[in-house]
């Protein structure tokens, strides 16, 4: 039977699972990316200067492309992100087929369609991780292909370039580059000299892929570019700067968001154990006399296994690399889990297939229904008829569902296009209201991390070129004094003119 109908099913399934969430309020990440991309695209600002965000250019290029082709509404942006998910599916299928055969590849494809759409990990959004998954998956597929075909140089060059693209879309995508080099060393035949040569081709591809970004960074201002895309994260917001206690708590919370996938894996293991079936390839670590020889070094053990089981080795390296990428920022936000979905789905597929195919009759259908119910439960529980209720279910205690009315007020009052200041963190308001940000840092984390940001904001609202509006979102100020200095400065030059959905709108005194 052709695999094409299964692709159509996966595509349709991923779209249907997203439909209840397409109108959910635009989140801060989406709003920030859209704001920067639109103004950069239209020449209304200079990237990393008056329009600033701590990301390389890749995500803004993608957003700009979606705006030019699909559209610029939140629904359009999420449809554009979904198209990237669809484009990732062939690579997921191909890697899974290398790993465990055609039937497991079909299961992995369907798993990926469901899990990558899950509201538990914000899979329906246009977050950077959704876009980064595409080059990451193709890196994995090309590594397996070139390992079988003799490590062709042009494959290695493309792998390096794809690693650069993943990094430019989201810095955590960088982990695919050392992963690819390590796989060449472990799974490649020949001497260390050959391994170095393969690694050199990958690095050459990395340089080719990153060259346009570096050239653009030099053109807009090298120091600003380096600070925004590298130095800021390393110095102020990374796993190095975040406390271990906060990281462990956040990591546990993110793991809970993958609970349906973990529950299904445990369920399949229990079923397989009760039936005493042979382990699927995902669990089988075969060796032979060479692996059993105690005189062989641990590294040689690993290399022998990697050469005999390249797909399994690659998948576990991919999982470890994804964990490394997820941990880079030190925040462990829920949508970071999107980065690890593809390899987990590929690893889980043969386990599910192995457990299900040893059941008979009604029990097999019960198994399939139980797995489907667990995987689809987040969508069923969180979706609502009205967009606001859905937003509350997905994003508790957030103001995303209240933004559109505020943006409409800002569009119809005051001077069109005049700057405004959002206090704090609801960056999507700048995009929805189509007003420039009076302060270059749009997110509370940046305001909390970078020194003297409160003094900068005070100077802005007291200065001669103060913004026309200041929006109080009700979120706590990320400053030591709780924002007392800032709000005292606002009171000197502004008066409250409206309260919309709990957002207080202050307009400058004439």
In the chain, helix, strand, coil percent, each to 5?
70, 5, 25
Within-domain flag for 211 = yes
Give, for all 510 residues of the chain, the pLDDT tens digit. 689 999 999 999 999 999 988 888 888 899 999 999 999 988 898 999 989 989 999 999 999 999 999 999 999 999 999 999 999 999 999 999 999 999 999 999 999 999 999 999 999 999 999 999 999 999 999 999 999 998 999 999 999 999 999 999 999 999 999 999 999 999 888 788 899 999 999 999 999 999 999 999 999 999 999 999 989 988 888 888 888 888 898 899 889 889 999 999 999 888 888 876 656 654 433 344 444 444 556 777 777 777 788 999 999 999 999 999 999 888 888 899 999 999 999 999 999 998 888 888 888 889 899 999 999 888 776 655 445 555 556 665 456 777 889 999 999 999 998 999 999 888 899 999 999 999 999 999 899 999 999 999 999 999 999 999 999 998 899 999 999 999 999 999 999 999 998 899 999 997
Within-domain flag for 241 = yes
Q: Give the global pTM.
A: 0.90
Q: Looking at the structure, tell me whether residues 125 and 252 fall in a common domain.
A: yes
Instruction: Specify the residue for token string 């969508």.
Output: 379
Q: How far is CA 205 from the centre of its chain?
A: 23
Within-domain flag for 390 = no
User: With contact defined as beta carbons under 8 Å apart, do 408 and 500 qualify?
Assistant: no
As given in the structure block, the two tokens for residue 313 are 């080795």
As given in the structure block, the two tokens for residue 460 are 């802005």
Last residue of a domain, one of 382, 412, 438: 382
- The pLDDT score that the predictor gives to residue 25 is 86
d(CA 464, CA 485): 18
**Virtual torsion, Cα 365, 370, 372, 375, nearest 10 deg:** -160
**Closest by CA position to 287, among listed 316, 312, 268:** 312
- The pLDDT score that the predictor gives to residue 399 is 65
What's the pLDDT tens digit per position in 433-466? 999 999 999 999 899 999 999 999 999 999 999 9
Residues 6 or more apart from 288 whose CB is under 8 A from it?
Answer: none
What DSSP assignment string belongs to 146-182?
A: HHHHT--HHHHHHHHHHHHHHHHH-GGGGGHHHHHHH
d(CA 98, CA 302): 19
Q: Looking at the structure, tell me whether residues 69 and 144 fall in a common domain.
A: yes
Q: Looking at the structure, tell me whether residues 436 and 366 fall in a common domain.
A: no
Q: Looking at the structure, tell me whether residues 376 and 313 fall in a common domain.
A: yes
What DSSP assignment string belongs to 299-361?
A: HHHHHHHHHH-HHHHHHHHHHHHHHHHHHTTS---GGGGHHHHHHHHHHHHHHHHHHHHTS-T
Q: How many CB atoms lie within 10 A of CB 494?
A: 21
Residues 6 or more apart from 224 whose CB is under 8 A from it?
Answer: 48, 49, 52
Within-domain flag for 395 = no
**Closest by CA position to 277, among listed 371, 350, 361, 362:** 350
Quote the number of domains for the chain: 2
Instruction: Specify the residue for token string 């996966």.
Output: 10
Instruction: Specify the residue for token string 């201002």.
Output: 221
Q: Cα dist. 456→29, 232, 451 in Å?
A: 23, 18, 10
Q: Looking at the structure, tell me whether residues 423 and 361 fall in a common domain.
A: no
As given in the structure block, the two tokens for residue 284 are 């089988």
d(CA 343, CA 202): 21
Last residue of a domain, one of 324, 352, 382: 382
Instruction: Specify the residue for token string 């008829």.
Output: 385
Apex CA 104: angle with CA 261 and CA 362, to 5°? 75
As given in the structure block, the two tokens for residue 253 are 């919370």
Within-domain flag for 82 = yes
d(CA 496, CA 359): 67
Q: Looking at the structure, tell me whether residues 373 and 472 fall in a common domain.
A: no
Q: Looking at the structure, tell me whether residues 414 and 359 fall in a common domain.
A: no
Q: How far is CA 237 from the centre of its chain?
A: 17
**Closest by CA position to 341, among listed 261, 280, 283:** 261
Half-sphere exposure of 27 (CA within 13 A, CB side): 22
Q: Looking at the structure, tell me whether residues 113 and 150 fall in a common domain.
A: yes
**Closest by CA position to 120, among listed 257, 260, 16:** 257
Q: Looking at the structure, tell me whether residues 350 and 407 fall in a common domain.
A: no
Within-domain flag for 34 = yes
- The pLDDT score that the predictor gives to residue 199 is 95
d(CA 418, CA 436): 7
- The pLDDT score that the predictor gives to residue 233 is 87
d(CA 487, CA 482): 9
Q: Taking the chain, what is the end-to-end CA distance rounded to the nearest angstrom?
A: 73
Within-domain flag for 56 = yes
Q: Looking at the structure, tell me whether residues 44 and 141 fall in a common domain.
A: yes
Q: Looking at the structure, tell me whether residues 133 and 225 fall in a common domain.
A: yes
Alpha helices in 383-467 (DSSP H): 387-394, 403-412, 428-433, 444-449, 453-462
Helix (H) / strand (E) containing 206: helix 192-220
Q: Looking at the structure, tell me whether residues 330 and 449 fall in a common domain.
A: no
Domain hosting 447: range is 400-508
As given in the structure block, the two tokens for residue 470 are 């200041």
Instruction: Return the bridge partners of 508, or none.
Output: 494
Instruction: Return the bridge partners of 495, or none.
Output: 507
Last residue of a domain, one of 382, 411, 430: 382
Instruction: Specify the residue for token string 């081709």.
Output: 201
Apex CA 422: angle with CA 421 and CA 424, to 5°? 135
Half-sphere exposure of 233 (CA within 13 A, CB side): 19
Within-domain flag for 143 = yes
- The pLDDT score that the predictor gives to residue 288 is 42
b/e burial code for range 264-275 (CB count within 10 A of at least 16 → b): bbebbeebbeee
Instruction: Return the bridge partners of 503, or none.
Output: 500
């Amino acid at each position: 039977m052709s695999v094409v109908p299964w692709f159509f099913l996966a595509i349709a399934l991923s779209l249907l699972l997203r439909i209840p969430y397409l109108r959910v309020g635009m989140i801060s990440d989406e709003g920030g990316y859209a704001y920067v991309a639109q103004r950069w695209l239209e020449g209304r600002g200079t990237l990393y200067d008056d329009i600033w965000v701590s990301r390389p250019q890749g995500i803004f290029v993608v957003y700009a492309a979606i705006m030019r082709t699909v559209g610029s509404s939140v629904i359009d942006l999420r449809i554009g992100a979904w198209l990237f998910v669809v484009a990732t599916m062939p690579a997921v299928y191909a890697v899974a087929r290398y790993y465990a055969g055609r039937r497991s590849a079909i299961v992995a494809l369907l798993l990926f369609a469901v899990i990558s759409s899950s509201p538990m990990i914000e899979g329906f959004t246009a977050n950077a991780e959704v876009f980064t998954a595409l080059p990451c998956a193709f890196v994995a597929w090309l590594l397996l292909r070139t390992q079988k075909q003799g490590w062709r140089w042009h494959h290695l060059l493309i792998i390096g370039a794809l690693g650069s693209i993943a990094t430019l879309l989201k810095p955590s995508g960088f982990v695919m580059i050392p992963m690819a080099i390590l796989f060449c060393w472990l799974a490649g035949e020949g001497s260390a000299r050959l391994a170095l040569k393969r690694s050199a081709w990958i690095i050459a591809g990395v340089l080719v892929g990153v060259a346009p970004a570096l050239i653009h960074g030099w053109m807009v201002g090298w120091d600003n570019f380096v600070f925004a895309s590298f130095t800021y994260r390393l110095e102020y917001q990374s796993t190095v700067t975040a406390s271990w206690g906060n990281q462990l708590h956040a990591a546990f919370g993110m793991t809970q968001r993958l609970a349906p996938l973990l529950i299904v894996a445990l369920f399949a293991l229990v079923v397989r154990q009760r039936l005493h079936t042979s382990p699927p390839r995902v669990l089988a670590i075969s060796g032979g006399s060479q692996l059993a020889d105690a005189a062989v070094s641990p590294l040689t053990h690993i290399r022998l296994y990697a050469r005999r089981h390249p797909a399994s080795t690659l998948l576990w390296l991919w999982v470890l690399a994804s964990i490394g990428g997820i941990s880079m920022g030190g925040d462990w936000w829920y949508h970071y889990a999107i980065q690890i979905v593809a390899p987990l789905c590929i690893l889980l597929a043969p386990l599910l297939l192995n457990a299900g195919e040893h059941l008979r009759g009604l029990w097999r259908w019960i198994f399939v229904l139980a797995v489907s119910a667990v995987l689809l439960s987040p969508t069923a529980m969180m979706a609502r008829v009205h967009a606001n209720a859905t937003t509350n279910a997905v994003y508790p205690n957030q103001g995303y569902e209240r933004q559109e009315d505020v943006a409409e007020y800002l569009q119809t009052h005051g001077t069109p296009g005049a700057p405004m200041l959002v206090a704090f963190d609801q960056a999507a308001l700048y995009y929805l209201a189509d007003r420039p940000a009076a302060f270059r840092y749009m997110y509370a984390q940046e305001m909390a991390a970078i020194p003297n940001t409160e003094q900068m904001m005070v100077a802005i609202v007291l200065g001669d070129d103060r913004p026309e509006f200041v929006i109080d979102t009700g979120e706590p100020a990320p400053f030591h004094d709780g924002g007392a200095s800032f709000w005292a400065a606002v009171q000197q030059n502004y008066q409250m003119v409206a309260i919309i959905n709990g957002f207080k709108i202050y307009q400058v005194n004439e």
